[in-house]
Amino acid sequence: MTQTTLTIRPATGADVPQILAFIRDLARYERLEHEVRATEAQLEATLFGPKRYAEVILACLGEEPVGFALFFHNYSTFLARPGIYLEDLFVREAARGLGVGAALLAWLARTALERGCGRLEWSVLDWNTPAIGFYRRLGAVAQDEWTTWRVTGAALEELAGGRRQP
Predicted local distance difference test score (pLDDT) of residue 115: 98
Of 53, 75, 85, 135, catalytic? 135
- Grouping H, G, I as helix, E, B as strand and the rest as coil, residue 60 is strand
CATH architecture for segment(s) 6-122: 3-Layer(aba) Sandwich (3.40)
Q: Identify the DSSP state of 144.
A: T
Predicted local distance difference test score (pLDDT) of residue 46: 98
Question: 127-157 pLDDT, tens per residue?
Answer: 999 999 999 999 999 999 999 999 999 999 9
Would you say the pTM of this structure is higher than 0.85? yes
Residue 135 catalytic? yes
Distance CA 57, CA 77 (A): 27
Phi, psi of 134 (to 5 degrees): -60, -50
Predicted local distance difference test score (pLDDT) of residue 1: 47
Predicted local distance difference test score (pLDDT) of residue 3: 55
Question: 98-112 pLDDT, tens per residue?
Answer: 999 999 999 999 999
CB 53 within 8 A of CB 72: yes
Q: Identify the DSSP state of 22.
A: H
